[in-house]
Amino acid sequence: MEIDDVIQRAKRDNVEFVSLQFADLLGIVNEIVTPANELEDTLEYGAWFDGSSIEGFARIQESDLFLKPDLTTYSLVPWLQENGKTVRFICDIYKPNGEPYEGDPRFVLKKIVKEAREMGFLYNLGPEPEFYLFDTTKSPIDSGGYFDMLSHEGYQVMKEIVKALQSFGINTEAVHHEVGKGQYETDFNYGPALETADRLLTLKYTVKKMAQIHNMHATFMPKPINNAAGSGLHVHQSLADIKTGENLFYSKSDRYNLSKTAYNFIAGQINNIKPMCAILCPTVNSYKRLVPGFEAPVYITWGSMNRSALIRVPHWFSEKPDSARIELRCPDPTCNPYLAFAVMLKAGLDGIKNGSEPPEPTEGNVYKFDDTSLSNIDILPTSLPEALNELKKNGMIKEVLGEQLFEKYIGIKTKEWNESKIRVAQWEIDKYFYIY
């Protein structure tokens, strides 16, 4: 679309307000709202904002940044129709000299997607975000279990979420109740990395807004309830030929129906998974999910008939070459999707460039292995500082993020960990208060 086309479309849609959205370093949606009469100037010249006021963005002496809307993300906000319709754009961030701002997470992903394209690859993704819905008393809205959609309140809000996502051009493939009480999952179409990251950002924004409208609170926190299922973000991924669209992960002759490219990609991610966890599982709470006894992975393994694996190869695509894919199961929905997809792709490309080979597959439930069987299997980081220490040593991810963003990210996350260390948890009160 051209700028004139967008302006005419906004007039036809009777748009009166414009929401300019972007993700900060933590993956949180920020927005600036302007009246529609500013739309032409905004599309042509961008909208200035103070980057120093955003978590992890520019220093005070570099604070002048501007937003440039991505015209392809034009969408009417479905719940903002009264008192003037509002159109939403996802924006890229630029410096005063017109160059992309290196600290923009969307730019980071674009940079790695370009590298993949130069190698002849199109990176496709299908994330599966999970979340909890709570009522005003901070209790789960229902007591349902896996695939149990009997809750009227839950069913109603999920229908509204699906309809709202359609307004943003996101086609929902399925919604269902997850294992935990009040826990749900929404899956949308498989697609290119940047588009998928935009969709995931929009989905999280939409889920939280629709829950608020229904007097509920939605949280993508990985472990909001003690001893209950955590919320993950399993990500299906594959590479396609940039010219033909052919799925490059498929091989008919292999026992897993995977190509050499797919094996190299798996190896690259396994080799870099420990430092990647600081990006994919970025909060203190993330590591309350990554514990034995639940479905989240703990051991660094891959396989097909193994849902405890870090990387799973779905076995149903053997007759569907175009659907060949691998599933990375450790990420959680608190990650910044742009940064997460960027490091995942870069790690996979690194494996391809180096011809890396993955370890032997591990089939069966790893949680039931004895100590001897587990002795040769490595584990994921068990805490945020452990993941950050791995990140500090990884030159590949530093290259992806750029030195400035890399240092800012580590600084923010180190501060987050230090804040958690001085907080006394309720468990500690319950455990120690009376016996000591």
Condensed to tens digits (0 to 9), the pLDDT of residues 329-344 reads 999 999 999 999 999 9
d(CA 56, CA 400): 16
State the pLDDT at residue 56: 65
Chain center to CA of 60: 29
| 142-144-146-149 Cα dihedral, nearest 10 degrees | -80
Q: Kindly tell me if the per-residue pLDDT of 297 is higher than 60.
A: yes
> What are the structure tokens assigned to 151, written together?
């809750």
pLDDT in tens, 12-28: 999 999 999 999 999 99
Q: With contact defined as beta carbons under 8 Å apart, do 179 and 142 qualify?
A: no
**Is pLDDT of 103 > 60?**
yes
Spell out the domain ranges in the chain: 3-100, 109-429
Name which of 15-24, 44-53, 117-126, 180-189 the model is least confident about.
Answer: 44-53
pLDDT confidence bin for 147, thresholds 50/70/90? confident
What average pLDDT does the segment 373-388 reach?
91
Is the pLDDT at 408 greater than 90? The verdict is yes
**Mean per-residue pLDDT, 169-192:** 93
3-state helix, strand, coil in the chain (%, to 5): 40, 20, 40
Strands (E) across 272-340 are located at: 302-303, 311-312, 326-328
> Above 70 in pLDDT, residue 422?
yes
233-241 and 121-134: which strand pairing?
Answer: antiparallel
pLDDT at 59: 58
Collapsing DSSP to helix, strand or coil, 372 comes out as helix
Structure tokens at 72: 């392809």
Mean pLDDT for the chain overall: 92
| For residue 375, pLDDT beyond 80 | no
Give me the mean pLDDT over the 206-231 stretch: 96
Torsion angle, alpha carbons of 306, 308, 310, 313, to 10: 20
228-264 pLDDT per residue, tens:
999 999 999 999 999 999 999 999 889 999 999 999 9
Helices 337-353 and 193-213 cross at an angle (nearest 10°) of 150
Helix/strand number for the chain, H first, E second: 13, 15
**Residue whose entry in the numeric block shows the structure tokens 């975000």:** 129
Beta bridge mates, 172: 188
- In CATH terms, the fold of domain 109-429 is Creatine Kinase; Chain A, domain 2 (3.30.590)
Please report the pLDDT score of residue 411 as a whole number.
95
Confidence of residue 111 (pLDDT cuts 50, 70, 90): very high
Which pLDDT does position 388 carry in this prediction? 98
Can you give the pLDDT at residue 316?
Answer: 67
Please report, rounded to a whole number, the percentage of residues in the chain having pLDDT higher than 70.
97
Q: What is the CATH number of domain 3-100?
A: 3.10.20.70
